[in-house]
Amino acid sequence: GAFPQKRGLGLVVQTQMSKKGRVFSGARPTGRQHLGNYLGAIKNYVALQADYDCVYCIVDLHAMTTLEDLSQIKANTAEMALDWLAAGLRPEETILFVQSHVPQVTELHTILSMFTPLGKLTDLPTFKDKVRLQPHNINYGLVGYPVLMTADITLYKADVVPVGVDQQSHLEFAREVVRTFHHRTGRQVLVEPQMKNTEFPKVLGTDGKRKMGKSENNHIELALTPEETEQMVRTMVTDPQRARRDDPGDPEVCNVFTLHKSFSSSEDITMIDRECRTAGIGCVDCKKLLARNLNEHLQPFRERRAELAKDPQHVWEVLHDGARRASAIAAETIAEVKAAAGLP
């Protein structure tokens, strides 16, 4: 969002236009990012920088609610930040930081928890899922997860929160907590955040069945080599009805085609759509083409990543600088919240 403006001697300078507002999003540190992360989140994070002041947070505290093994958090944080930067986050304008580096979020979490009925938390579908998934580890933090998320968003007074549909109930929850806080304190110090659903398309894993995810082990990492990428694409499950080379296929139910739609030229997409239905192209060739297009698309990313990876300390410096800038906003908000809540 910058436009050139003539000044004095005819020099063209860049003047910042005021942006549409502030975006905040968070993601748990999951290490190297995959195609699902890229299409579902990172690509949107990068694009939103043009129109919004963006704050992106690696939520290491949230990660602790589900992790048995805490030894990976630091390495996973660094790997994820590396991928985000290589993908085009611009730390000169965007605040990129680690959640635990700005401790005011835990303070706000505590204050907001007093405005949160316990039953609301235990009724959330996301909480019930966790109870089913990890019955041996239903910790207190898991119950408070949405309160901490509300604290993330409101500490930075975000207007817009880009997330997947699975986070919708958390966003509605956050809005309710803000309204309750405003109602009970009589002071409108926080911002009720708008959700922006960015999860499109739904990217399935190499199994062609479940959403792509590291825990499902059906993912293709962005940072793979071209050869490894081709290898992974080769393992992808296609239209299950298409058993033999001569059978016509249905691109609509094929996850390889979904990826073509994101990474291939419109000519390639039209060609595959046509040739798959008539068995003109086989799955092997269709995958080869996808691997080639993917590798071409990701090449600049991989070059930048390799460059950034040479200096691991630089990534931490970027994150610490982000935390300093985030802290400045956080300090103001927390002061307003405490005053509104009547704390002496």
| 103 prior amide bond cis, ω within 30 | no
> Which two structure tokens, joined as six digits, stand for 209?
């069945």
What distance in Å separates the CA atoms of residue 99 and residue 108, rounded to the nearest whole number?
13
Among 59, 89, 203, 212, the residue binding ligand TRP under the rule CB under 6 A is 59
Compute the half-sphere exposure of residue 291: CA atoms within 13 Å on the CB side of its CA: 19
Q: How far is the CB of 192 from ligand TRP (least distance, A)?
A: 14
Region near ligand TRP per CB under 6 A, out of 21-29, 199-207, 219-227, 292-300: 21-29
Q: How far is the CB of 59 from ligand TRP (least distance, A)?
A: 4
> Which two structure tokens, joined as six digits, stand for 303?
């070059």
Q: Which is nearer to ligand TRP, 26 or 322 (CB)?
A: 26
Region near ligand TRP per CB under 6 A, out of 24-32, 183-191, 304-312, 324-332: 24-32
Q: How far is the CB of 152 from ligand TRP (least distance, A)?
A: 4
Q: What share of the chain is helix, strand, coil (3-state, %, to 5)?
A: 55, 10, 30
Q: Which amino acid is present at 62?
A: H
- Strand 11-16 vs strand 2-7: parallel, antiparallel, or unpaired? antiparallel
Q: Which is nearer to ligand TRP, 7 or 128 (CB)?
A: 128
Q: How far is the CB of 193 from ligand TRP (least distance, A)?
A: 8
Touching ligand TRP, residues 161-190 (CB under 6 A): 161, 163, 167, 170
In the sheet where 160-163 sits, what is the strand order? 95-98, 53-58, 22-27, 160-163, 194-197
Q: How far is the CB of 99 from ligand TRP (least distance, A)?
A: 8
Q: Is there binding between residue 205 and ligand TRP (CB under 6 A)? A: no
Q: How far is the CB of 139 from ligand TRP (least distance, A)?
A: 16
Q: Which is nearer to ligand TRP, 130 or 260 (CB)?
A: 130
Q: Are 93 and 116 in contact (CB under 8 A)?
A: no
Angle at 325 between CA 322 and CA 328, to 5 degrees: 145
Q: Is there binding between residue 62 and ligand TRP (CB under 6 A)? A: yes
Among 23, 25, 63, 102, the residue binding ligand TRP under the rule CB under 6 A is 25
Burial class (CB in 10 A: 0-12, 13-18, 19+), 66: middle
Region near ligand TRP per CB under 6 A, out of 18-26, 114-122, 212-220, 313-321: 18-26
Angle at 192 between CA 150 and CA 334, to 5 degrees: 55
Q: Is there binding between residue 80 and ligand TRP (CB under 6 A)? A: no
- Long-range CB contacts (< 8 A, 24+ apart) of 246-254? 246/279, 247/279, 248/276, 248/277, 248/278, 248/279, 249/276, 249/277, 249/279, 249/283, 250/276, 250/277, 251/276, 251/277, 254/208
Q: Is there binding between residue 149 and ligand TRP (CB under 6 A)? A: yes
Q: How far is the CB of 57 from ligand TRP (least distance, A)?
A: 7
Among 153, 212, 256, 323, the residue binding ligand TRP under the rule CB under 6 A is 153
Residue ranges that bind ligand TRP, judged by CB under 6 A: 24-28, 59, 62, 149, 152-153, 161, 163, 167, 170
